[in-house]
Chain A
């Protein structure tokens, strides 16, 4: 069955460093991959979408890569700030399907 794996351990980094989060998937041929941010008690907020024919996408301090051979996406936050502390969710749209499947998320803590 289709599966998305994100590191369940929290990631702790120092302010100013680059945070890198990983999303791996199996039994899947996604057309799109999305990253969301979720704060406690709130719904996820859409950050970036990358298509299967794109290798990399950037938005301000965010960068996403998509390797369909490795079945992996990396999400980078450069010059991280304490305000970046949140849970980050990876999500995949199945080709020809209607729904988006979400990973369980990775909690990021950025220390001042």
Chain B
């Protein structure tokens, strides 16, 4: 597609429920990243995919968080048993190469997750 598409744009969920966030990157972009941004904070790295594999999962906050990418395209970030501290904007980005290749990222508009 023309840009990085994320869905849903907003999600309100009850504490303890599971949520799935979807990211559809730019066609042909092999690298995909998930970040989250809390109010007034910088972007917190979660996970990086190159193709379907995830060489760097170091940013996932706990084992309640998982992500997968299929067909080298769409990625899903799943949060199980959501907690209030999970409330944030979850941003997905894709790029033509890995970050160390010196390519800028194209970000989606994010999913605003609110856990009540």
Contact = CB atoms under 8 A, between A and B. Distances in A.
Partners in one complex: yes
Interface of A: 4, 31-32, 34, 36, 41-47, 49, 51, 89, 93, 95-105
B109 interface: yes
Contacts of B99: 32, 93, 97-100
A97 B100 contact: yes
A2 B4 CA distance: 28
Contacts of A4: 42
A99 B56 contact: yes
A32 B105 CA distance: 13
A47 B104 CA distance: 8
B95 to A, nearest CB: 9
A98 B100 contact: yes
Interface string B98-111: 11101111111110
Given A41-B109, A93-B99, A100 B45 contact: yes
B77 interface: no
Given A43-B91, A104-B42, 17 more contacts: A4-B42, A32-B99, A32-B102, A34-B104, A43-B93, A43-B109, A49-B102, A51-B102, A98-B48, A98-B50, A98-B55, A99-B45, A99-B99, A101-B45, A102-B42, A103-B42, A104-B41
Given A89-B42, A102-B35, A42 B109 contact: yes
Contacts of B43: 44, 89, 102
Top 10 nearest A-B pairs (CB, nearest first) are A43-B107, A46-B104, A104-B42, A102-B43, A98-B56, A99-B45, A100-B99, A93-B99, A98-B48, A102-B42
User: Max chain B CB contacts within 10 Å: which of A31, A34, A102, A104?
Assistant: A102
B71 interface: no
